[in-house]
């Protein structure tokens, strides 16, 4: 298949193109109109069509692959391993849906899921989809305050959690964080469903609110819950992502467009086949987990691997053993994970039979050439970078091996994926950039199926956040710098805003700043993302204090730094902890009082600081220079 012709058809004749892709899923009622873009930048795909994500991921496969493994759960933390065929997955999802229905969950209601990587978490997501409820999965590494913010925004009728997760051989209790979040929340859920793994003997149960999953499962052992058919543009889930303010944005996804988009990607982006196994090393708390642990592989009739554990425990060969044992053909991970493995003995890459593996896909942050060559040479399979966002739900840039696999160019995630009319434009004028000219990566509306339909409960924020950068034209801004070379390869150069990418996780620097300022000793703070060889970027803070005596000596500075970092972990979770804090007497600002974050970042990384003509106090910048040893 010719990439250029395939791509151009998706842009020039989107209704015909996506009408064909709609045949990849089952419809209870076929779409009456493929695309409605009468109210830009909003758009609706497959208008009038009725379908269901759970039906397409589970039920429709029962006739032909009921006994094929659908989900394989593996935990290197507990030693558990369990396989579920499509028939068994169908049974578990029906039981889970019956439990939820008994607790008041119905179409349109929200359910917050705060779970580790266990099979029951996937059952719960699919059960929500079956009922037509809107799930909002919150990453288990987030703290109670962060969970409370998401509870108040989603206003769920039910929260589902486990007693604890496991990491590095240690139990990580979840339930007490749920209790704390519910105490803080203004709109607490009336019921909490708990999957008790027996990992937290001190877990507290609240009478009248908390429900034991295993007891309820016994009550609904033979339940059958009919599928709720949804119009294609009804919401399927909310997934919160960091923004440039302290308040997270609830990315809202639809049902029909998401199903069609994911089904198409299994063919064209991942070149995978039904009956094969896919191993995605993410977490269900992130968009990669939603799209390519849960929905994508199951929509395509594949076997999906659900793994709880680290890439280096019990040893650095655990991933490759999984590939061998389950004949994985398609693997999806992150550059950070590969850089962690790169520190281990390369012999682990050769210990297991990896002959089933066709591709390793990487995404989450820019992939450097050294890492790419190391893993590609070690595995002996194509390593394909691709680029996408929580907001898009699937790849914007890819090598598309299911269409025409172009030669790999190190550092580039490839070419525009079908449906994405990508332009790289000047950040001030909106004019299209020439070859090798840096600009903002944008998309000309309409966004293709599968992308966010709005920000949950806030259409204005959707328009302003994503389509408000350029006055003279309506463009979706990725908030990423990029350039395209003369051969059409695109390169991502970093964020244009105050969001950083650390180990593939998006963190808003304003959120971390607010957490640090909650510490009673801190007066002002600026957080920036600095380059890190393993994680891509790490958050580093520059703080002024209310009482200079606290930092009069090294011991005082060390004690305050530990206390401040603990405050961030308390409010946001360990995932957001700053790598380092520097204490200064003043922060560089403009004469109008705006913090010069870009200049702080540039100075800390040893780069040119740019125009400082508006700097109010030159001594403040000199303090930053001394703090970082420049």
Q: What is the CATH number of the domain that holds 551?
A: 3.30.300.30
Which of the four pLDDT bands, split at 50, 70 and 90, describes residue 588? confident
27: in domain = no
Spatial CB neighbours of 222, under 8 Å, sequence gap ≥ 6: none
**Per-residue pLDDT at 617 exceeds 80:** no
Is-contact 403 1, C-beta < 8 A? yes
| Dihedral pair phi/psi, residue 118, rounded to 5° | -125, 160
What is the predicted pLDDT for the residue at 24? 98
- If one counts the domains in the chain, the total is 1
The structure tokens listed for 27 are: 């419809």
Which of the four pLDDT bands, split at 50, 70 and 90, describes residue 313? very high
Reduced to 3 states, what is the DSSP secondary structure of residue 448? coil
Residue 25's nearest CA partner among 217, 301, 305 is 301
The structure tokens listed for 437 are: 């000219």
Give the residues across from 443 on adjacent strands: 422, 476
Reduced to 3 states, what is the DSSP secondary structure of residue 106? coil
59: in domain = no
What is the predicted pLDDT for the residue at 592? 56
621: in domain = yes
**Per-residue pLDDT at 490 exceeds 70:** yes
Q: How many CB atoms lie within 10 A of CB 119?
A: 21
The structure tokens listed for 205 are: 């149960």
CA–CA separation, 302 and 368 (whole Å): 31
Please give the average per-residue pLDDT across 374-397, as a whole number: 94
Which of the four pLDDT bands, split at 50, 70 and 90, describes residue 611? low
Spatial CB neighbours of 588, under 8 Å, sequence gap ≥ 6: 595, 596, 599, 600, 615, 616, 617, 620, 621, 624
What is the predicted pLDDT for the residue at 590? 65
Please give the average per-residue pLDDT across 279-308, as a whole number: 97
Share of the chain above pLDDT 90, in %: 73
Spatial CB neighbours of 539, under 8 Å, sequence gap ≥ 6: 500, 502, 507, 509, 512, 527, 528, 529, 530, 576, 577, 578, 579
565: in domain = yes
For residue range 86-130, what is the model confidence (pLDDT) as tens digits?
999 999 999 999 999 999 999 999 999 999 999 999 999 999 999
Residue with tokens 């002002």: 524
Spatial CB neighbours of 286, under 8 Å, sequence gap ≥ 6: 139, 390, 504, 505
Q: How many CB atoms lie within 10 A of CB 180?
A: 16
Task: Classify residue 83 as exposed, middle or buried by CB count within 10 Å of its CB (0-12, 13-18, 19+).
Answer: middle
CA dihedral 46, 47, 49, 55 (to 10 degrees): 60
Q: How many CB atoms lie within 10 A of CB 326?
A: 18
Weakest-pLDDT range from 97-101, 188-192, 205-209, 565-569: 565-569
Spatial CB neighbours of 355, under 8 Å, sequence gap ≥ 6: none
Please give the average per-residue pLDDT across 7-14, as a whole number: 98
What is the predicted pLDDT for the residue at 447? 98
Sign of the dihedral through C-alpha 283, 117, 384, 320: positive
Sign of the dihedral through C-alpha 421, 427, 430, 435: negative
Containing structural domain, residue 511: 499-627
| Dihedral pair phi/psi, residue 543, rounded to 5° | -125, 145
Of residues 234 and 547, the one with the higher pLDDT is 234
CA–CA separation, 287 and 329 (whole Å): 21
In 392-432, DSSP assigns E strands to 395-398, 415-416, 422-425
Please give the average per-residue pLDDT across 54-82, as a whole number: 97
Which of the four pLDDT bands, split at 50, 70 and 90, describes residue 282? very high
Which secondary structure element, helix H or strand E, spans residue 539, and what is its range?
strand 536-545
Which of the four pLDDT bands, split at 50, 70 and 90, describes residue 613? low
589: in domain = yes
The structure tokens listed for 351 are: 């210990």
CA–CA separation, 264 and 73 (whole Å): 25
Share the mean pLDDT of the chain.
92
Reduced to 3 states, what is the DSSP secondary structure of residue 194? strand
CA distances from 101 to 95, 182, 223, 433 (A): 10, 21, 11, 53
**Per-residue pLDDT at 612 exceeds 70:** no
The structure tokens listed for 344 are: 């281990």
Sign of the dihedral through C-alpha 442, 286, 49, 460: negative
Let me know how long the chain is: 630
What is the predicted pLDDT for the residue at 547? 87
CA atoms within 13 A on the CB side of 196: 16
Is-contact 397 3, C-beta < 8 A? no
Q: How many CB atoms lie within 10 A of CB 223?
A: 16
CA atoms within 13 A on the CB side of 445: 22
Task: Classify residue 226 as exposed, middle or buried by CB count within 10 Å of its CB (0-12, 13-18, 19+).
Answer: exposed
Residue 237's nearest CA partner among 395, 115, 113 is 113
Weakest-pLDDT range from 160-174, 184-198, 237-251, 494-508: 494-508
607: in domain = yes
Residue 125's nearest CA partner among 289, 364, 249 is 289
Residue with tokens 């946001």: 572
Of residues 512 and 621, the one with the higher pLDDT is 512
Please give the average per-residue pLDDT across 367-377, as a whole number: 87
What is the predicted pLDDT for the residue at 496? 76
Decide the pairing of beta strands 415-416 and 395-398.
antiparallel
For residue range 442-463, what is the model confidence (pLDDT) as tens digits?
999 999 999 999 999 999 999 9
CA–CA separation, 495 and 507 (whole Å): 12
188: in domain = no
Please give the average per-residue pLDDT across 307-335, as a whole number: 96
Which secondary structure element, helix H or strand E, spans residue 253, and what is its range?
strand 249-254
The structure tokens listed for 172 are: 């990580």
Which of the four pLDDT bands, split at 50, 70 and 90, describes residue 615? low
The structure tokens listed for 161 are: 């959690």
Decide the pairing of beta strands 580-583 and 536-545.
parallel
597: in domain = yes
Spatial CB neighbours of 613, under 8 Å, sequence gap ≥ 6: none
| Longest Cα separation, the chain | 73
What is the predicted pLDDT for the residue at 610? 62
Which of the four pLDDT bands, split at 50, 70 and 90, describes residue 246? low
Residue 91's nearest CA partner among 64, 133, 62, 125 is 62
Spatial CB neighbours of 26, under 8 Å, sequence gap ≥ 6: 51, 55, 56, 60
């Amino acid at each position: 298949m010719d990439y250029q012709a395939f791509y151009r058809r998706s842009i020039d004749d989107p209704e015909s193109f996506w009408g064909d892709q709609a045949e990849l899923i089952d419809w209870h009622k076929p779409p009456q109109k493929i695309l409605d873009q009468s109210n830009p930048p909003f758009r609706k795909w497959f208008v009038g069509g009725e379908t269901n994500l759970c039906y397409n991921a589970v039920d429709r496969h029962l006739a032909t692959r009921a006994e094929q493994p659908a989900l394989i759960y593996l935990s290197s933390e507990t030693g558990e391993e369990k396989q579920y065929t499509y028939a068994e997955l169908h049974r578990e999802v029906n039981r889970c849906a019956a439990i939820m229905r008994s607790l008041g969950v119905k179409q349109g209601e929200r359910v917050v899921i705060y779970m580790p990587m266990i099979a029951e978490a996937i059952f719960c997501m699919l059960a929500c989809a079956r009922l037509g409820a809107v799930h909002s999965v919150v990453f288990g590494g987030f703290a109670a305050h962060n969970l409370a913010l998401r509870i108040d925004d989603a206003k769920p009728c039910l929260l589902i959690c486990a007693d604890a997760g496991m990491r590095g051989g240690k139990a990580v209790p979840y339930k007490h964080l749920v209790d704390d979040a519910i105490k803080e929340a203004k709109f607490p859920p009336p019921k909490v469903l708990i999957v008790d793994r027996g990992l937290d003997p001190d877990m507290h149960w609240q009478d009248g609110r908390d429900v034991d999953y295993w007891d309820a499962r016994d009550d609904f052992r033979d339940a059958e819950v009919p599928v709720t058919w949804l119009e294609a543009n009804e919401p399927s889930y909310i997934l919160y992502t960091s923004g440039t303010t302290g308040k997270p944005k609830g990315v809202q996804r639809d049902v029909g467009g998401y199903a069609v988009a994911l089904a198409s990607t299994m063919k064209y982006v991942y070149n995978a086949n039904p009956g094969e196994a896919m191993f995605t090393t993410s977490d269900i708390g992130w968009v990669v987990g939603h799209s390519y642990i849960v929905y994508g592989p199951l929509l395509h009739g594949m076997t999906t691997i659900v793994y709880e554990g680290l890439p280096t425990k019990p040893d650095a060969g655990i991933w490759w053993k999984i590939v061998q044992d389950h004949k994985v053909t398609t693997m999806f991970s992150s550059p950070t994970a590969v850089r962690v493995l790169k520190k281990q003995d390369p012999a682990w890459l050769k210990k297991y039979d990896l002959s089933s593996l066709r591709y390793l896909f990487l995404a989450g942050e820019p992939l450097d050439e050294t890492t790419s060559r190391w893993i590609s040479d070690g595995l002996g399979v194509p390593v394909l970078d691709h680029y996408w966002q929580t907001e898009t739900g699937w790849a914007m840039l890819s090598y598309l091996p299911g269409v025409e696999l172009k030669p790999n160019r190190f550092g580039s995630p490839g070419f525009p994926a079908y449906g994405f009319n990508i332009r790289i434009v000047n950040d001030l004028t909106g004019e299209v950039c020439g070859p090798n000219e840096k600009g903002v990566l944008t998309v000309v509306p309409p966004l293709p199926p599968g992308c966010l339909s709005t920000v949950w409960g806030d259409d204005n924020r959707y328009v302003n956040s994503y389509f408000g950068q350029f006055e003279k034209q309506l463009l979706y801004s990725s908030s990423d710098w990029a350039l395209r070379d003369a051969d059409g390869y695109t390169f991502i150069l970093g964020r244009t805003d105050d969001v950083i990418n650390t180990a593939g996780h998006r963190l808003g620097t304003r959120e971390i700043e607010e957490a640090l300022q909650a510490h009673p000793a801190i007066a002002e703070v600026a957080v920036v993302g600095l380059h890190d060889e393993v994680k891509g970027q790490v958050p580093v803070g520059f703080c002024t204090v209310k009482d200079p005596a606290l930092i009069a000596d090294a011991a005082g500075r060390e004690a305050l730094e530990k206390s401040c970092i603990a405050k961030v972990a308390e409010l946001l979770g360990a995932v957001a902890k700053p790598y380092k804090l520097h204490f200064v007497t003043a922060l560089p600002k403009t004469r109008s009082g705006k913090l010069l974050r870009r200049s702080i970042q540039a100075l800390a990384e040893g780069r040119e600081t740019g125009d400082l003509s508006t700097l109010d106090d030159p001594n403040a910048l000199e303090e930053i220079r001394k703090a970082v040893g420049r």
